[in-house]
Chain A
Amino acid sequence: MQSYLEYLDQHGSRFLDGTLITIQQTIIAGLLAIAISLVVGLMKLSSHKVIRWPAIGYIEFFRGTSLLVQLYWIFFVLPLFGITFEKFTAGFIAVGLNLGAYGAELVRGSIQSVPRGQYEAALALNMSPYKRMKRIIFPQALLIMLPPWGNLLIELLKGTALVSLIAVADLMFEAKQINGSTFLSAESFGTALIIYYLMARLVISPAMRAFEKYWAKKMGRFANHA
């Protein structure tokens, strides 16, 4: 125990730096994934093939291939076609694009699980397609999709560890570096493990649960107990 405290004292600041990068990667990739999910999820519901098919292709590609390979493509292969990203940017783009494909399916599925009668009632009230979605369907779909989104964001956090492989100095990268210089593998990767777990358990989960609760209340879901 004594020696672990010494270890932390010596390397703690590097773990902290790495954690901050991981948090940045998670937030930016998360926002990207959410934006992509909404756009691609709605596109997949379109009745026009021209809109639907690119969405299907996108989802198939990014869910069907490995995140690590996608990351390498974006960082090492795209420059051959003249598209060059900084490693930090390449990192969150790869993670965001990948998780966005999973999120798109969540968005599509939850919108489809809103009862059809809601759509019909909104149509009968002559609401425009945009207002039907915004005012009636999406608020209800959000309630359905929030719990799986919590899981997905935790997946995303863990997925950001791969950006260490293109030398983004995130938590995983720092853990490897410290391990390389100290050979204290249990301490190095154990600390990383714990920090990932705490971020998922103490930040993402409670935040998502709070949002779920807030939304459910806003939606009158708990009106019976009010």
Chain B
Amino acid sequence: MNEPDFPIKLESGAPMVRFAKVRKSYGELTVLDDLDFDVQKNEIVSIIGPSGSGKTTVLRMLMTLEQIDHGVIYVDGEPLTHMGKNGKLVRANNRYVRSMRSKIGMVFQHFNLFPHMTALQNCMEAPVQVLGMSKQEASDRSEELLQMVGLEDKIHQHPARLSGGQQQRVAIARALAMRPEILLFDEVTSALDPEVIGEVLGVIRQLAAEHNLTMIMVTHQMGFAREISDRVCFFYDGKIEEQGSPTKLFDNPENERTRQFLSAVLDAG
């Protein structure tokens, strides 16, 4: 792919994440429509919107789980899946993409824990296998992380023996074990029973308070988005329809679609 209109590198002071005219379609269906979207370092951004609006696709593209049809994503000023060649941006090789991907971690709706490993092994796996950390060090750090998410008594359990809320907390610890600079949360409470949603949100709240992580969340938890976000983006039809501080977006939405969406979800829940 040739992207002559995009810089090979952003100038210093660039945002942590920049989507520049990113387009993604599946066949006829356009999921992201020339999306421009910036996230600053250590910013906490919530993405809300109706299903099919492209919210999750934003996260999946940033995690390199989906390919970009057109446009460029920059992370920390560098293109995520492109590299400069003879002054032009071309699709990057795997090695480059892996080096970029190491800055990003993701927590999934369905946890996706490795069922054949204990909670501790889930957290140790990538530090040992990818970062080459010693088992001792990885184990110590993973134990610390599992303690942080309140699961110190579950470290030797397999996922099958954990509740959904506990599994999701392990998944958060597992993502943190790779020390990402950007952490993506993809509807992380949507598959949970109502009574355990709180424990997962509690962990995210704690991470947010420490504020040394850029966080992008796709969520249906409006109250939570309002509480912890620096900025909320309302997605509609593959574009950001409206964005702003939580107070502005939730209390004084300017856009008619935002108003309709908010009144629908707030009535329902």
**Those of B85-121 within 8 Å (CB) of chain A:** 98, 101-102, 104-106, 108, 110, 112-118
Nearest Cβ distance between residue A111 and chain B, in whole angstroms? 15
With contacts A123-B65, A125-B178, A128-B98 known, is A220 near B116, CB below 8 A?
A: yes
Choose one: B65, B114, B161; the contact of A124 (CB below 8 Å): B65
Tell which of B9-17, B25-33, B123-131, B231-239 binds the partner.
B123-131
Choose one: A120, A131, A219, A223; the contact of B112 (CB below 8 Å): A120
Which single residue of chain B is at the shortest CB-CB distance from A118?
A: B112
Residue numbers in B under 8 Å from A135 (CB-CB): 125, 129
With an 8 A cutoff between CB atoms, is B174 at the interface? yes
With an 8 A cutoff between CB atoms, is B158 at the interface? yes
Choose one: B64, B125, B158; the contact of A125 (CB below 8 Å): B125
With an 8 A cutoff between CB atoms, is B218 at the interface? no
Choose one: B114, B129, B158; the contact of A131 (CB below 8 Å): B129
Residue numbers in A under 8 Å from B117 (CB-CB): 220
CA distance A113 to B26 in the complex (A): 23
Question: Counting chain B CB atoms within 10 Å of each CB, which of A125, A131, A139 scores highest?
Answer: A125
Q: A-side binding surface: helix, strand, loop or mixed? A: helix
Contact yes or no, A121 B108, CB < 8 A: yes
Residue numbers in A under 8 Å from B160 (CB-CB): 220-221, 223-224
Q: B-side binding surface: helix, strand, loop or mixed? A: loop
**Those of A129-185 within 8 Å (CB) of chain B:** 131, 135-136, 139-140
Nearest Cβ distance between residue A47 and chain B, in whole angstroms? 12
CA distance A167 to B65 in the complex (A): 56
Contact yes or no, B126 A126, CB < 8 A: yes
With an 8 A cutoff between CB atoms, is A8 at the interface? no
Residue numbers in A under 8 Å from B112 (CB-CB): 115, 117-118, 120-121
With an 8 A cutoff between CB atoms, is B63 at the interface? yes
Question: Counting chain B CB atoms within 10 Å of each CB, which of A123, A126, A127 scores highest?
Answer: A126
Nearest Cβ distance between residue A145 and chain B, in whole angstroms? 15
Question: Counting chain B CB atoms within 10 Å of each CB, which of A118, A121, A127 scores highest?
Answer: A121
With an 8 A cutoff between CB atoms, is A209 at the interface? no
Which single residue of chain A is at the shortest CB-CB distance from B60?
A: A120
With contacts A123-B65, A125-B126 known, is A219 near B102, CB below 8 A?
A: no
With an 8 A cutoff between CB atoms, is A218 at the interface? yes
Residue interface mask B159-203, A partner, CB < 8 A = 1: 011000000000100110010000000000000000000000000
Contact yes or no, B125 A219, CB < 8 A: no
Contact yes or no, A223 B157, CB < 8 A: yes
| B residues adjacent to A (C-beta < 8 A) | 63-65, 98, 101-102, 104-106, 108, 110, 112-118, 125-126, 129-130, 157-158, 160-161, 171, 174-175, 178
| A residues adjacent to B (C-beta < 8 A) | 115, 117-118, 120-128, 131, 135-136, 139-140, 218-221, 223-224
